[in-house]
Amino acid sequence: MKIEDFSFDMDRREFVKKVLNGAIAGSLILVFPMDTVGVDSQMGISQSDLNLRLPEEIPGIKNNQYDIHRQKFAFVVDITRCIGCGSCCVADKREYNVPDGNYRTWVERYVKDFDDQIYVDCPNGGLDGYQKPRDDIQTGVRDTFFVPKLCNMCKEPPCVQVCPVGATFMTPDGFVLMDSQRCVGCAYCIQACPYSVRFLSPVTKTAEKCTWCYHRVRKGLLPACVEVCPTGARKFGSLNDENSEVYKILKGPGVLTVLKQSMGTLPALYYIGQRLEVV
């Protein structure tokens, strides 16, 4: 067997020289940008350059003119897939720096015992994940499931109807958004929302809500909670894209439900596998 000799002839001085040269060359990368294309002298990296680096998560939006009147989206929550890990809640809190004790989205835990009693809880909005089973249920547990909640993006939104200054509004592409510069903080929208997804921010003293990450969607990115969901329980996509999962679900034969249908709010948030007990 031939044994190759890997010893290389370089003295210590030469080695230190090369390491130093490499370190200086490497540090220059930090000082000068790699290329000059798309560099804004003020901002560092230009918007167009940033767009080039973004992945295309919602097909058809990136590098295309966004026609706000033609875009249509849907959000589907598959209850049968949710494992209550709380990743979505953490992602949401980090995306918006949501003040403690207030929630743009949360995950509820439903426990059904053998007496058909339903126990629901949502400690800390599900942010910590459901790592331990409930220990306060005396009879045997028959079933457990998790229900993520977020803005229903109603097509007839009561929050928009009641806002006295038009601070909350509906975009032509179906998003119910807040203008925090205009909001007077009267909390009427909070009272009017049947799903309690709104809160008055203790920081800005204005109403806040889930936006389905509109700022991300406009760049072709998925909402933060959808992005991190490890089981695909949260699904989002364009209804103009016939290949999108939400399009197939909505146009398919499966059973879909919405929350509080009797309220007549016509939500754009659909649930798969929603149980009778879910309110």
Partner 1 sequence: MNPNLYEAQSTLSHGASMLISNYVFPNDLHVHWSMMIVLYPYITGLVDGAFIIAALYYLFDVKSLKPVARFSLLFAFAFLCCATLPLLLHLGRPERNFNMLLTPSPSSAMAGFGYIYAISMGVLSFIVLFVYRPDLVERGKKSKGVMKLIYRALTFDSDDLSKKALELDTKIIRFLVGLGIPVAAVLHGYVGFIFGGVKANPTWSTPLMPVIFLFSACVSGISAIVLAYIVIRKLGSLSIDAACIKTCIKTLTGFFILAFSFEMLEVFSHSYLKTGYHHMVEGLLNGPLASSFWLWQVKICSVIPLILLGFMAFVKMRDSIYLPISTIVSAILLLQVFIMRWNVVIGGQLMSKSARGYTVFHPEWFDKEGILAVIIIMTIPFIILYVLGKIFPFWGDAIKGSISSKPVRKTGGN
Of 32-40, 68-76, 111-119, 228-236: span binding partner 1 (CB under 8 A): 111-119
Token pair, residue 271, equals 């649930």
Contacts with 155 (C-beta within 8 Å, 6 or more apart), sequence order: 174, 265, 266, 267, 268
| Closest CB 216 distance from partner 1, rounded Å | 23
Comparing CB distances to partner 1, the nearer of 21 and 161 is: 161
Question: If binding is defined by CB under 8 A, does position 165 make contact with partner 1?
Answer: yes
Q: Is 225 in the site for partner 1 (CB under 8 A)?
A: no
Number of residues that bind partner 1 (CB under 8 A): 48
CB neighbour list of residue 48: distance below 8 Å, 6 or more residues apart: 38
> Residue from 17, 182, 248, 251 that binds partner 1 (CB under 8 A)?
182
Strand 176-178 relative to strand 168-170: parallel, antiparallel, unpaired? Answer: antiparallel
Read off the DSSP letter of residue 242.
T
State yes or no: residue 120 binds partner 1 (CB under 8 A): yes
CB of 149 to partner 1, least distance (A): 8
Q: Does 145 bind partner 1 (CB under 8 A)?
A: no
Residue from 170, 185, 247, 275 in contact with partner 1 (CB under 8 A): 185
Residue of 93, 198, 216, 234 that binds partner 1 (CB under 8 A): 198
Q: How far apart are CA 102 and CA 125, in angstroms?
A: 8
DSSP letters, 201-258, are: -TTTSSEE---SSHHHHTTTPPPHHHHH-SSS-EEEEETT-TTSHHHHHHHSSS-EE-
Of 76, 176, 197, 233, the residue at the interface with partner 1 (CB under 8 A) is 197
List the structure tokens of 47. 């918007």
- Which residues in 81-109 are b (16+ Cβ under 10 Å) and which e? bbebbbbbbbbbbebbebeeeebbbbbbb
The DSSP bridge partners found for residue 148 are 107
Q: How far is the CB of 23 from partner 1 (least distance, A)?
A: 51
Q: Does residue 263 belong to the site contacting partner 1 (CB under 8 A)?
A: yes
Site stretch for partner 1 (CB under 8 A), options 23-31, 42-50, 118-126, 218-226 = 118-126
- Contacting residues toward partner 1, per CB under 8 A: 101-103, 106, 108, 116-122, 125, 149, 158, 160-166, 182-188, 190-200, 204-207, 262-264, 279
